[in-house]
Amino acid sequence: MQNKPRLSFFQIWNMSFGFLGIQFGWGLQIANMSPIYKYLGADEANLPYLWLAGPITGLLVQPIVGALSDRTWTGLGRRRPFFLVGAILASLALIAMPNSSALWMAAGLLWVLDASINITMEPFRAFVADNLPEEQRTLGFVMQSFFIGIGQTLANALPFILTAMGVVGIMASGIPYSTLIAFTVGGVFFLAAVLWTVFTSHEYPPEDMEAFRAKQKEGNLVGSIFKEIGEAIKDMPPTMKQLAIVQFFTWFALPCMWQFYGLSVAKGVFGAIDEKTTPELFQSGTEWGGLMFGFYNVTCFSFAFLLPWLAEKTSRKTVHIICLTLGGLGLISTAFATNKYMLMFGMAGLGIAWTSILAMPYVILAGAIKPERMGVYMGVFNLFIVIPQVVMSFLIPQIYDGLLGGKPINVVILGGISMLIAAATVFIVKDVGAAKIEGAAAGGH
């Protein structure tokens, strides 16, 4: 086993910088896809169906890319070739998205965008675990949380800022010019940030190159990859199974917010009826909703570097329980906001939760799996992110007009309740990586 040296702060910074671009692109999608769909004539109750591209492509792409990257070694290393290909495709999709002239076109482009983001993002998780010793992994994943927070903040706020700067008017489709410019900037920035990481970071080669090359030549590549994914699921460590329950309730909650929060703000706080009857109020409300997404991401990157200290003083599990609880309460508090500024309190809680969601499960997971299977297990772990999103996407349309009263705010409240359940389930998780660190410290090495 390689004895990995500790990396400097700026080496960890460089290897995580690409996440800034990825999250800029993802943040634009999260804050703007529901309004874009509505401008193009989508029915509100069916929005979750139109969002299925993210979880379905994640379900298909991430485990395959994870297993494939485990078997890859090139002049750019193991994970970086996937960063590069995914970033190029995602950037093109971002630039094309606001130029959609019909609902089917926007939905199709979202499939391309999400598949490309997944190609780029999955290897980034394994990249941190590959390159850092156990005691630096919390910092590594927290650095990703930091860049996620900044990237999404910039993306969420950009349409609001452009409108404030005087960018007005709409295209023939009804999509504002501010959205068009924001997505174009996002496409360029996505690629630039990933290129920074590709050319400023290194990777460790396989420990036994001869055995690695032999494995590459084994039989049918596609068949062997699916076999490896199946074996990984079958041999899943207990810690990973425990985290799966936490992830299910966490990632059921998040799309409830992403898909319906902006609509909740437009209707509940700004008083909009819909995008056609009250177009100015609808645009102002959804842009403010995007700005609130930016606010929770400001909280995320502001809080990020406190996480390692808090985890050291308490435990990784304790931190995650507290953070998820604050997030759940924050989402529920949206229902009680009587003006747009009160929304900041709830989004602050969500931002603290988001910091932990992006780091703690991965830190705990990385300590429980073998280094040579890091890519495939990080990909398989993504199943516990995408499956709850698929469940949410099929469930909400069935209960939206009945149980949820046809009100977007009730979907957000349901998300808050789900996040509180996630917090409670953290108690069952066994953090074996933390136990290893404590054992090493006790042994004096």
pLDDT of res. 1: 44
pLDDT of 296 above 50: yes
Q: Which residue has the higher pLDDT, 16 or 141?
A: 16
Residue 3 forms part of a structural domain: no
In-domain check, residue 184: yes
Q: Which of 415, 355, 413, 361 is nearest to 383 (CA)?
A: 361
Token pair in block for residue 251 = 């990632």
In a domain, 45, yes or no: yes
* Residue with the larger pLDDT of the pair 57 and 435: 57
Cα 254 versus chain centre, distance: 10
Report yes or no: 149 and 300 within 8 Å, Cβ to Cβ. Answer: yes
Confidence class for position 307, pLDDT limits 50, 70, 90 = confident
The model's pLDDT over 187-196, given as tens digits with 9 standing for 90+, comes to: 999 999 999 9
Contact 307, 358 (CB under 8 A): no
Closest by Cα among 192, 188, 176, 173 to 32? 176
- At 359-396, the pLDDT tens digits run 899 888 877 877 667 767 877 887 888 899 999 999 99
Least confident window among 58-67, 286-295, 415-424 = 58-67
CA dihedral angle for residue 125, residue 130, residue 131, residue 132, rounded to 10 degrees: 80
Q: What is the pLDDT of residue 440?
A: 46
The distance from CA 210 to its chain's CA centroid, rounded to whole angstroms, is 36
Task: Give percent of the chain above pLDDT 70.
Answer: 93
Would 2 be classed as within a structural domain?
no
The DSSP line for 378-428 is: HHHHTHHHHHHHHHHHHHHHHHTTTTTTT-HHHHHHHHHHHHHHHHHHGGG
Kindly state the tokens that stand for 421: 């359940």
Looking at per-residue pLDDT, the higher value among 177 and 280 belongs to 177
pLDDT score of 436? 56
Say how many domains are in the chain. Answer: 1
Distance CA 179, CA 33 (A): 10
Single pTM value for the model: 0.73
Residue 1 lies in a domain: no
Q: Lowest mean pLDDT: which of 3-7, 77-81, 358-362?
A: 3-7
Please tell me the predicted confidence (pLDDT) of residue 441. 44
For residues 35-51, average pLDDT: 87
Domain range holding 316? 9-443
In a domain, 231, yes or no: yes
The CATH number assigned to the domain holding 77 equals 1.20.1250.20
What is the reported pLDDT for 403? 93
Q: What is the mean pLDDT of the chain?
A: 85
Residue 253 pLDDT > 90: yes
Helix (H, G, I), strand (E, B) or coil at 62: helix
Count of other CB atoms within 10 angstroms of residue 81: 18
Is 4 a member of any domain? Answer: no
| 201-220 average pLDDT score | 70
The token duo for 237 is: 């460590």
* Predicted confidence band of residue 445 (pLDDT cuts 50, 70, 90): very low
